[in-house]
Structure 1
Amino acid sequence: MNRAGLIGLGAMGAGIAATLRDRGYEMHVCDARPGAAVRFAEAGGVAWATPAQVAHRCEVVISVVVNAAQTEEVLFGEGGAAASMKPGSVFVMCSTVDPNWSMALEERLGALGILYIDAPISGGAAKAASGQMTVMSAARPEAYARADAVLDAMAGKVYRLGDRAGAGSKVKIINQLLAGVHIAAAAEAMALGLREGVAPDALYEVITHSAGNSWMFENRMAHVLAGDYTPLSAVDIFVKDLGLVLDTARASKFPLPLASTAHQMFMQASTAGFAKEDDSAVIKIFPGIELPPSH
């Protein structure tokens, strides 16, 4: 049986692990939250307490954690994976991170004989669980040679964007620029409609069948109409991701006026107490509107 390791059983990671299990992989998993790996393993798979224990048994280890700091902990913290990975094994990094950090990580792991795939992901929990998410990857050919089958099994589309780390993370943060701006714009439009007394359900129906629609309007404003801010992707994710976008552009003095404004909107929502709510809660920064109640 094919075998793979996965660290980080959040909404996306759990979906990826389940997809690989369904497609014939023996999954070895761990998560920082007590019990998460055990719950996954109850349906098939092997739970471990540390990344090192996963890495010791798997030639391909997938990391699906929130950011670069957590990835560092997965690799180099107490019980970290790097010290247990065999030479020639592959670490697949699926977080949204600074591209320069990802490029440096490839070199650090390479010095240990570990291959690396810069492989941020997109599509949300539902697409991760159905095996239809997108992977934006970049890696050396020998890393792809070892891990291609796993990548293709866990995603609907795997883009191979370069033969060194960095290109995958660059494309992902450009995607996040658009995603963040689209959510902010959708919230602004819905807020104006509420302020002007337009029936929100009618506005949603018209916009989703008109040229002003976007995938983010259709998806996120449905959360607003339902009054449900359960975090599928939290406000603070876009504080982080748009921050990465702006950091990247700032290094080359490249102006990003829309991304800057959207970032400020998410920052305002975060400091107003909505940091852990769904990112559609950015609409709560607009004054003088009455939002639809929870259903």
Structure 2
Amino acid sequence: MARGSLIIQCATVAPSQAKQLGERVAAEGLMLLDAPISGGAAKAKSGELSVMASGATEAFTYAEAVLNAMAAKVYRLGDAPGVGSSMKLVNQLLAGVHIATAAEAMALGIRMGLDPEVIYDVITHSAGNSWMFENRVPHILSGDYTPLSAVDIFVKDLNIVHQTGRELALATPVASSALQQFTAASGAGFGREDDSAVIKVYQRLSGIALPEAANDAQGA
């Protein structure tokens, strides 16, 4: 790349890795915008992502047209790489925990004999709701685990959360518990399925009956 060119990195990486990449890029006379994203495939397609970015003012100026095309909201979080990735880790901790908790809540309700559809209706109109519960539980209800965001993504991302916590000497027990559930799901062969498939860990352990996809039910 020509000196003065801009690299925009949108992956979920450790803040320390983003900082190191920024230093390597600067040594080559290039700029780095540390710009992880949130919103998934649907928001990417519609150009409505959230971008959590940090970098030099000049990097933001170079990237403005691209960021405006891909994002509904661009957060300018700092003037050096690493800050954007730090914010993304906060988001991924919450996202992973909320998905794992939604799966556990659904498993508990099903085990107690509640209708899964009724659980969803009640919780989405109650204080226990979360964006992830509202978004992921319909995958469970339809028995469709076609990956929009896979189990293995949260094995990776929650591992980064865990490792970063160790670097900072900060315990992350709730995130670590969620990581174990995603790791168990991956180990059981569900790693490439939608992240809502973490509920299948509970199915394996307790024998709960999960909703089936329409074609599976017809075939049975």
Q: Aligned match of 1:101 in 17, 26, 29?
A: 17
The reply to whether residue 130 of structure 1 matches residue 46 of structure 2 is yes
Which of the numbers 204, 208, 213 marks the counterpart of 1:289?
208
- Confirm or deny that 1:270 pairs with 2:186: yes
Is structure 2 residue 64 aligned with structure 1 residue 148? yes
Residue 53 of structure 2 aligns to a residue whose secondary structure is strand
CA–CA separation in structure 1 for the residues paired with 2:44 and 2:165: 29
Partner of 1:49: none
TM-score, normalised to structure 1, is: 0.71
Match of 1:80? none
Give the number of aligned pairs. 211
Identity within the alignment, %: 61
Q: Which residue of structure 1 lines up, in the alignment, with residue 126 of structure 2? A: 210
Secondary structure of 1:177 counterpart: helix
C-alpha RMSD of matched pairs (Å)? 0.8
- Report the AA paired with residue 268 of structure 1: A
Does the residue aligned with 2:135 lie in a helix, a strand or coil? helix
Name the amino acid aligned to 1:178. L
Partner Cα distance (1:106, 1:152) in 2:
22
Match of 1:225 in 2: 141
Unaligned runs of at least 5 residues, structure 2: 215-220
Alignment of 1:237-276 (within 5 A): 237-276=153-192
Which of residues 91, 95, 105 is equivalent to 1:179?
95
Counterpart code for 1:110:
A
SS in 2 for 1:156: strand
Equivalent AA in structure 1 for residue 196 of structure 2: S
Which deviations, in whole Å up to 9, do the C-alpha atoms of 1:173-218 show, x marking residues without a partner? 1100000000000000000111111011111111111111001001
Larger relative contact order, structure 1 or 2 (CA cutoff 8 Å, min sep 6): 2
Tell me how far 1:148 sits from its aligned partner: 1.8
SS of match in other structure, 1:113: coil
More helix by share: 2
**How far apart, CA to CA, are the structure 2 residues paired with 1:154 and 1:196?**
44
Q: Matches of 1:147 and 1:123 in 2, distance apart?
A: 19
Match of 2:4, SS state, is coil
CA deviation vs aligned residue, 1:126-148 (integer Å, no higher than 9, x gap): 11111111000000122112212
Counterpart of 2:114, as a letter, is V
Q: How many Å separate the matches in 2 of 1:184 and 1:150?
A: 34
* SS of residue matched to 1:218: helix
**Distance of 1:251 and 1:109 partners within structure 2:** 23
Deviation of 1:149 (Å): 2.2
Gaps of 5+ in 1: 1-84
Q: 2:152 aligns with which of 224, 236, 242?
A: 236
C-alpha distance in 2, partners of 1:265/1:127? 27
The equivalent residue for 2:218 is: none
Secondary structure at 2:107 match in 1: helix
Moved over 3 A (4+): none
Partner in structure 2 of residue 46 of structure 1: none
